[in-house]
Amino acid sequence: MARTAGDVLAAAIRTHAEAVLRGHDDVRAAAVRASGAPEAAPDAVHDARVAVRRLRATLRVFRGCTAPEPGTVEALTWWVRTLGAARDAEVRRAGLAALAADLERPSPDVLAGLATLDGGLVAADAAARAEVATALASARCRDLTARLDVLAAAPPLADRPGTPAATALRPGVERELARVGRRAGPVAAWRDPGSGDRPAPGVVHRLRKAARRARYAAEVLAGSGDRATDRWADDVVAHHRELQDLLGTVHDADVLRATLTGLREPRTAAAVDACVRLGDERARRALADAAHRASSQGHERRTHLDSLLRTGNPWR
């Protein structure tokens, strides 16, 4: 049964706000754990950051239909950036461990350098967690919590709350698809892992963020209750999840590369060079997969990524 835009948005805002609130305790536990000790909730920071991003995307993409208190989106941006520093530290350390495990016959110099590098990343991880713990105890976080309580209790709706969701919300998703198209040209143009310099990390990351926002917007629309619209939105979600994952591999490799390069000194040079070579190889393969991803066969795979990059919206 078709649902109204108000019903769909209220449910999405409430769900995401409650997820952020629930995550506070797990994030606090993760932030204060002893360095190197197992976490009580290994994905606490990641899950909380995803919930914040989904909530922020809902308020931004469908801003014509929502009316949050002034400053709410900015408060969410502050929190997602605070969590991001801690999550990035976790990802860098896990990335180094994954590369170290796959190095072929590392020399003693490489092994010694890896231990030194991991020690530096442990320190950075601890510092990032300390910042999260400080932020959780701040007045700014208490203000955010109050705002989340309001969002969960009474999701703020603006114009056209009684309009069918398929009518009111689909234009927002289409705008996000157009954004993906505008940012995707350099990735579409680069196809071969052996064909010279790949797109700059910032270009790849901007495309990844656009794909993520399009995915989150389509997830909201997929609850419209209109069968054709929901199928369309599900297709958008599936495609952009795949694209986001591939580009995420590239982004994580780029971030780790920059971090390791910054830690390069005589004791770590051999390890940094070995890890950078392997990481670059994997990043180039992932980027090639993103550029070549075929999805134009029948109803299951309806469009090649090329089509998305050139038209901006292959699902029309």
Please report, for the chain, the start and end positions of each structural domain, with discontinuous segments joined by +.
5-311
H helices of 161-266, where? 165-183, 185-189, 201-221, 227-262
pLDDT of 207 reads: 93
Bridge partners (DSSP) listed for residue 184: none
- Rounded CA-CA distance 19/257 in Å is 32
**Is 164 in a helix, a strand, or coil?**
strand
- Rounded CA-CA distance 243/294 in Å is 11
With beta carbons less than 8 A apart as the criterion, state whether 53 and 216 touch.
yes
- Rounded CA-CA distance 74/48 in Å is 16
- Rounded CA-CA distance 75/185 in Å is 32
Q: Which residue has the tokens 């009580």?
A: 40
Region of 196 please: left (phi>0), alpha (psi -120 to 50) or beta: left
pLDDT tens track of the chain, all 316 residues? Answer: 789 999 999 999 999 999 999 888 788 776 665 444 444 456 889 999 999 999 999 999 999 899 899 999 999 999 999 999 889 998 999 999 999 999 999 999 999 999 999 999 999 888 988 899 899 999 999 999 999 999 999 998 876 567 899 999 999 999 999 999 888 888 877 766 566 678 888 999 999 999 999 999 999 999 999 999 999 999 999 999 989 998 999 999 999 999 999 999 999 999 999 999 999 998 888 888 877 653 332 233 334 444 444 444 443 4
pLDDT of 31 reads: 62
Task: State the architecture of 5-311 in CATH terms.
Answer: Alpha solenoid (1.40)
- DSSP codes, 260-310: HHHT-STTTHHHHHHHHHHHHHHHHHHHHHHHH----STTTS---HHHHHH
**Is 42 in a helix, a strand, or coil?**
coil
Query: Which residues are CB-neighbours of 184 under 8 A, at least 6 positions away?
Result: 207, 210, 308, 309
Of 104, 109, 96, 46, nearest to 257 by C-alpha is 96
Of 61, 56, 96, 93, nearest to 75 by C-alpha is 56
Handedness of CA 65, 70, 72, 74 (dihedral sign): positive
Which CA distances in Å does 62 have to 57, 227, 239, 304, 314?
Answer: 8, 21, 21, 28, 21
And the tokens for 57? 């995307």
Q: For residue 155, how many other CB atoms are within 10 A of its CB?
A: 22
Q: For residue 55, how many other CB atoms are within 10 A of its CB?
A: 27
pLDDT of 293 reads: 55
With beta carbons less than 8 A apart as the criterion, state whether 106 and 274 touch.
yes
Of 289, 290, 291, 313, nearest to 302 by C-alpha is 313
The dihedral formed by the CA atoms of 48, 54, 60 and 64, expressed in degrees to the nearest 10: -130
Which amino acid is it at 122?
V
